[in-house]
Structure 1
Amino acid sequence: MDYANDETAPAFQRIADRNGKWGYRWVPLVSDENFTHCSLDVLMLRPGKAGGLIVDTDIDNRLKTLFDALQIPTSQSQLPETPASDEDPFFVLLEKDSLISSVSVTTDRLLARARFTRNDFPDSLTLSADQSANRDYVVLIISVAIHATKTTMGNLHLIG
C-alpha cells in the first residue's frame, strides 16, 4: 500500500514510503526533512591492555564503519536481495551520515567475558573465548542526542 500521501496513515509509514529504495522502506529518525541532526557519544570497550585511543587499530576506519551502519545504505550491494518480514519498514538512526554534528569517543578495556544475563533481553554482550582473545572485537555503547536545526511542528518536542 502507498502511504506517502495518505494523511490518515501513521507518520512512520509515510516516511518509509518517501524513503523506499532497493525493495526496502527506510524510516530515519534523523533527517533533513525533519530539520534534525545528532551528536554521538561512543564508549568503545575492547579486549587487551588499557591504552590510548589508538592501540593497534585504525580508529578512523572503525568510526566510518559505525557511521555507515547507522545510516540508510548508499549501495544496494550492502543489502540482502529482499528484506526479512520484520524489516518493513526498516528503522535507522540517520538518513545520511553527514547529519552527525559531533562525535565523542572514549576507549576503555573490556574486562570480563561474561556478564549478567536477563531472560527478557538478548544477551548480546557476552563474549566467547575467541572474541575475548580477538583484539579487533569491540563492544560499543552509543549515546545519541538529537537536535533540531530549525523549529517546526514536527520537531517541537526536541526543543527544550
Structure 2
Amino acid sequence: MKSELTEHHLALLLHRRQDGSYGPVLICCTMRIMRFTLTYSGRLPSSSNAGVKHRIRLDLHPQLKELWNTHPALAEKQDWITPPNVPVLREEERGVLLKEVGGNYFATLVNPYLRLYTELDILVLRPENPGALITHSGDIDNQLKTLFDALRRPVDTSEVPKAWSSLADESPLHCLLDDDKLITRVSVETDRLLHPGADPKDVQVTIRVAVKGFTAAWGNLGLIG
C-alpha cells in the first residue's frame, strides 16, 4: 500500500475568523493517490446471480477491513463506518459511509461523501490453452461486469442472498465502491494461469486500485491530501 504525490488541485476551504464567523480560503493542495491491491481466486462466471456476486464480496471483505484497520488516515476515522448503538467519538460523523440493506450494514471507501473516485488496473489469469484468451474475449467482458457488481455495495435486498445475515466480524461488510459509476478508468490484462491441475472454471484476479479525489475536502485530505 502506498501513496504518491502526483497531482495538484485548488481547494476552497472555510477558515474561522477571530469573531467566530467563517470565510473562504483558496489553497493549493498536492494530491496523493491512495494505492492498494485486492486479490480474488475462484469462480468468476460471465452470468451470475446475487449469491455469486455476494460470495465475491465476502471474499474481498477481509482485505478491505484490514485496509481500514491499518491505513493511518482510515484507522482514525472508524466513526464513519460505525453502526448505530455503538459508541463513537464524534456522533456527527457516525455512519456517514454506511448503508443499511435488509438489516445488514455495508461500508464503502470510494464514496461521494468523500468526493472520491477510483481507477482500476486488473490482471485476470485463466487456465486456458494458448489462443483461447482471445476467442473468449466476450466472456471476459461479462466476467468483469460480475466483478464490478461485486466491488460495490448492494443497492437493495434483491442483490443480497435471502438467507444471508452478517456475522459479528462482517458488520459492517466492507465494499470498495458505493457505486460502480465511481470507476473512471479500467485497464484489463489477461494471461494464462499456469497452475497444473487448476479448475478450468477458476480464475485468479489481481486488482490494483488507485483512489483519487474530485476535489480536496476536509474529509479526504488525510487519504489523498
Q: Tell me the amino acid that sits aligned with residue 113 of structure 2.
A: E
Provide the C-alpha distance between the structure 2 equivalents of 1:85 and 1:7, rounded to a whole number of angstroms: 21
**8 Å CA contact 1:34, 1:154 repeated in 2:** yes
Q: Which has the higher helix share?
A: 2
Structure 1 consecutive aligned stretches of length 4 or more whose deviation exceeds 4 Å: none
Deviations 1:6-64 (A, max 9, x none): 653595x5235x41121111110001111000011000001022348543351221111
Q: How does 1:1-160 map to 2 (within 5 A)?
A: 2=84, 8=90, 14-15=95-96, 18-51=98-131, 54-56=134-136, 57-80=138-161, 81=163, 82-113=165-196, 129=197, 132-134=198-200, 136-159=201-224
Shift of the 31–53 alpha-carbon distance from structure 1 to 2, 3 Å rule, reads farther
Larger radius of gyration: 2
Identity %: 38
Shift of the 98–44 alpha-carbon distance from structure 1 to 2, 3 Å rule, reads same
**8 Å CA contact 2:121, 2:209 repeated in 1:** yes
* Deviation of the 1:76 alpha carbon: 1.3
Q: Which has the higher strand share?
A: 2
Query: Partner residue of 1:116?
Result: none
140-149 vs 67-76, which deviates more?
A: 67-76
Shift of the 85–69 alpha-carbon distance from structure 1 to 2, 3 Å rule, reads same
Shift of the 2–133 alpha-carbon distance from structure 1 to 2, 3 Å rule, reads closer
Shift of the 19–46 alpha-carbon distance from structure 1 to 2, 3 Å rule, reads same
**8 Å CA contact 1:50, 1:108 repeated in 2:** no
Q: Tell me the amino acid that sits aligned with residue 2 of structure 1.
A: P
Shift of the 147–64 alpha-carbon distance from structure 1 to 2, 3 Å rule, reads same
Q: Tell me the amino acid that sits aligned with residue 193 of structure 2.
A: L
73-82 vs 87-96, which deviates more?
A: 73-82
Point out where structure 2 has 5 or more consecutive residues left out of the alignment.
Answer: 1-82
26-35 vs 49-58, which deviates more?
A: 49-58
What is the TM-score of this pair, normalised by structure 1? 0.74
Provide the C-alpha distance between the structure 2 equivalents of 1:52 and 1:31, rounded to a whole number of angstroms: 37
**8 Å CA contact 2:96, 2:113 repeated in 1:** no
